[in-house]
Copies of this chain bind each other. A is one copy, B any other.
Amino acid sequence: MRWWGWGDPAQEPVLPPHALEFLRSTVGVAEQPRPPVALENVTLPASALDEDALARLRAIAGEDGVRADHDARVLHAAGKGYPDLVRMRAGEPGEAPDAIVYPRTREQLVALLALCAEDSVAVVPFGGGTSVVGGVAPLRGEHRAAIALDTAQIDGVRALDRESATVTVGAGIRGPALERELAAHGFTLGHYPQSYEYVSLGGCAATRSAGQASTGYGAIEKMVLGLRVCAPAGEIELPPIPATAAGPGLRQLLVGSEGTLGVIEQLHLRVREAPRARVYLGVFFERFPAGVEALRACAREHVLPDVARLSDEHETSMSLALAGTGGLKARIGRTYLGLRGYAEGCLAIFGFEGGNEDVDYRRGRALALAHGCGGISVGRSPGEAWRHGRFAAPYLRDDLLTHGVMVETLETATQWSNLLDLHTRVGDAIGAALAGYDTPAYVMCHVSHVYETGASLYFTFIARQSTDDPIAQWRDVKAAACDAIVEGGGTITHHHAVGRDHAPWMAREVGASALAALSAAKAELDPHGIMNPGKLALAAAAIRRSA
């Protein structure tokens, strides 16, 4: 993983020349490219752990299981949010773990938590490191140091129950490694967040992740049938039963706990048979509300596509512009816009996966419902184009940053009856906040996950990066958007989680009593408060309670 951005370090720039021209004409680009500094020029604070402390960690995790060198600390200094990348590219992360520890066994993990509780060392669980909300920020809280607890070695498929369609994994296993193993047995998990190529499944569970196909496969919370969490005060182990009424939902208390209660060490996950049929289609709607209505109709009739995405007019225009004059744009121009004379439009991707009969039935009904809302199928090529590029957007973000273009995403979910209002409200808030920075703003959005009672909204905005203080610019826009979301009746996050960045808004969303109850549960499982301090709104509540 690039320490200053996304993905494969060997990846070439993905921004085509015509797209750069489009950006130049819409929001403006830097006169000179601004590449990241060299790795050796990244400035880190000195490690707070001396050789004795490192030796104690090595006594548990082995010589190879502990690192405190420059490169490892840089790679674990931040996640992949916009402010993370801005700071890393400038060589000024401002914070870094004092060491990185790679336990290989549950016993090592348990021993490490005990040692850290005794030594007053905060523990930041680190899976793929792909958080975009500061979830892996190496915060110490009130402790003398912080380690990143990298779960990469707690991996592997431990059991596959073919009859029950469940797999048991070490929680550090990466998405592609799990899918490869499952594919060899004819199964799939079906969890494809944009970060799929790098995520750990434990990280997905800890952050209540949703994948691009979660409309069909369900978000990770639907897949976690059981799990084992190692907390400083003990372990919680819940078996992979399909359903239970044995009290409050403990599995759902642990899913989304973001490393604040303990480390997810093992997961029992529901899998499905690998799809025999896979059809991804583009559907064009004249206006966003018509597309929303089509998705709502599909939800009502239980014929939703597994991937159900609907771009608004702005995002559709941007997609066509980035695609250039060939391919998608030409095809859609010929088959739809040209014929209909629509000035703009909204492109939806309907992706169906499953058995042949299932895909045939749902595709037929979903397209019929879409047609009833004025939608026109524009065939497989837009769907296949989307599939082909589904994990590429983070690379594009790196290229935009190189050209001085700010790009950030944020997301929410709400009821159908509130969706269009929230879409307008959040878009307006982002635009107004960026206007204060004297930059044009390009704000776009898509519906990314669909439920019977509502849907999620995923916003992307592009602007000229402030050269004075890009972090302050980001903070202002982010706060305006988050305020608009919570005041507008949306949830502060549908699938990016809370981390550091969303904690104040989570507190507003769930209220003081709920936070107090969660904080009490945390204090029981993590009595020294070493687990991922400063994340969720729990730490803040705990600090208030102890003050």
Residues of A near any B CB (own CB < 8 A): 161, 163-166, 207-210, 219, 221, 225, 231, 233-258, 261, 270, 272-273, 296, 300-303, 354-355, 357-358, 361, 365, 413-418, 449, 451-456, 489-498, 502, 506, 509-514, 516-521, 523-525, 536-538
Contacts and interface: CB of A to CB of B under 8 A. Distances in A.
**The 3 A-B residue pairs with the shortest CB-CB distance in the complex, in nearest-first order:** A249-B252, A252-B252, A242-B454
A246 B454 contact: no
A255 to B, nearest CB: 6
A451 B253 CA distance: 21
A245 B493 contact: yes
6 contacts: A164-B415, A164-B418, A234-B513, A244-B494, A245-B256, A273-B300
A413 B243 contact: yes
A24 B303 CA distance: 51
B238 A247 contact: no
A238 B514 contact: yes
A221 to B, nearest CB: 7
B449 A243 contact: yes
Given A208-B244, A242-B453, A243-B454, 16 more contacts: A233-B513, A234-B513, A240-B415, A242-B451, A243-B494, A245-B496, A246-B492, A247-B256, A248-B252, A248-B256, A248-B257, A249-B255, A250-B518, A361-B361, A520-B521, A521-B521
A322 to B, nearest CB: 28
Contact of A248 (B254, B357, B449, B524): B254
Contacts of A244: 208, 413, 491-494, 509
Contact of A517 (B303, B506, B525): B525
Each complex incorporates copies of this chain amounting to 2
B510 A516 contact: no
A410 to B, nearest CB: 12
B246 A164 contact: no
A10 to B, nearest CB: 32
A506 B241 CA distance: 14
A201 to B, nearest CB: 16
Contacts of A236: 510-511, 513-514, 517
B498 A164 contact: no
A536 B493 contact: no
B247 A510 contact: yes
A70 B209 CA distance: 54
Contacts of A451: 242-243
A427 B241 CA distance: 20
Nearest to A535: B247
A494 B163 CA distance: 20
Nearest to A165: B453
A489 B357 CA distance: 35
A354 B302 contact: yes
A420 B303 CA distance: 33
A497 to B, nearest CB: 5
Contact of A417 (B164, B361, B413, B493): B164
B536 A210 contact: no
Contacts of A165: 300, 416, 452-453
A459 B474 CA distance: 59
B164 A453 contact: yes
Contacts of A456: 242-243
Contacts of A163: 296, 415-417
A147 to B, nearest CB: 23
A271 to B, nearest CB: 9
A253 B166 contact: no
Contacts of A498: 245-247
A250 B514 CA distance: 7
A242 B449 CA distance: 10
Contacts of A242: 413-415, 451-456
